[in-house]
């Protein structure tokens, strides 16, 4: 086999592999359960990394003490989050796990940071003794910052800027009115399908 033929074979194999990856991605995206995750805001982006929007959702920052399940996480750990859909049609975290729980809608991510936070202390009078005492109004918090491969939404320059500008807008209640449309495969590796903006679905096209 001459050099040109070898190069042609390598190119064909690489093209076939890319087509296989794309077909597998499309199959997982189409056949997996779908949920809506509310977009809570965006963070500044690094313009050197291309055109994208940094998206924040309820999965970005998790209070382990307020959620059911496990709380023994460290930086770099895998984390699985059980989601439940509420009356408004959007899904939110309800439990954290150190391993896949085996049932339910579960998102798989990676722990980036873990830290404890305490509510401010207040002074009040003990109703039994009449003596002043220091109390904490609410329980301590254990915050977990995690990533789920949905935090950066890459798009054309115009679309990325338009999305970022839209995420600046809020209604009188502080709600943005934008939901992320996600597919959740069995392994929990989330896939972005598009956005729901003010009730209108805007699915990404692959071709």
With a cut of 60, say whether residue 121 has pLDDT above it. yes
Torsion, Cα 187 52 194 19, to 10 degrees, reads: -60
pLDDT above 90: residue 55: no
pLDDT band at 23 (very low <50, low <70, confident <90, very high): very low
pLDDT at 21: 45
Q: Is 90 exceeded by the pLDDT of residue 161?
A: no
pLDDT digits (tens, 9 = 90+) for 60-75: 999 999 999 998 899 9
Predicted TM-score of the model (pTM): 0.73
What's the pLDDT score for residue 138?
Answer: 61
What is the pLDDT confidence band of residue 54, given thresholds at 50, 70 and 90? confident
Other CB atoms within 10 A of residue 200 CB: 7
Residue 16's pLDDT is what? Answer: 54
Mean pLDDT value across residues 126-142: 72
34-48 pLDDT tens trace: 899 999 887 766 554
Residues 6+ positions from 62 with CB-CB distance below 8 Å: 81, 93, 96, 143, 144, 145, 146
Write the Ramachandran bin of 75: left for phi over 0, alpha for psi from -120 to 50, otherwise beta: beta
Question: Where do runs of H (alpha helix) occur along 32-171?
Answer: 157-166
Q: Which pLDDT score is estimated for 14?
A: 62
Asked whether the beta carbons of 86 and 98 are under 8 A apart, the reply is: no
| pLDDT class of 173 with cuts at 50, 70, 90 | confident
Q: What confidence score (pLDDT) does residue 22 get?
A: 47
The encoded tokens of residue 178 equal: 């934008």
What pLDDT, on the 0 to 100 scale, is given for residue 199? 85
Least confident of 136-140, 186-190, 200-204: 136-140
């Amino acid at each position: 086999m001459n050099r040109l033929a070898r190069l042609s074979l390598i190119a064909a194999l690489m093209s076939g592999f890319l087509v296989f990856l794309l077909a597998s991605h499309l199959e997982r995206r189409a056949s997996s359960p779908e949920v809506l995750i509310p977009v809570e805001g965006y963070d500044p982006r690094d313009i050197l990394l291309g055109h994208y929007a940094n998206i924040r959702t309820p999965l970005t920052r998790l209070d382990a003490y307020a959620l059911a399940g496990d709380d023994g996480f460290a930086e770099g750990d895998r984390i699985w989050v059980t989601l439940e859909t509420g009356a408004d049609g959007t899904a939110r975290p309800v439990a954290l796990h150190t391993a896949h729980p085996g049932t339910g809608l579960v998102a798989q991510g990676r722990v980036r940071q873990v830290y404890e936070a305490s509510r401010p202390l207040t002074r009040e009078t003990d109703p039994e003794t009449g003596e002043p005492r220091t109390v904490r109004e609410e329980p301590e918090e254990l915050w977990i910052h995690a990533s789920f491969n949905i935090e950066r939404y890459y798009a054309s320059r115009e679309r990325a800027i338009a999305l970022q500008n839209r995420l600046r807008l809020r209604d009188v209640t502080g709600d943005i009115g934008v939901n992320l449309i996600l597919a959740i495969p069995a392994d929990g590796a989330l896939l972005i399908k598009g956005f729901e903006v003010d009730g209108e679905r805007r699915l990404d096209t692959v071709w």
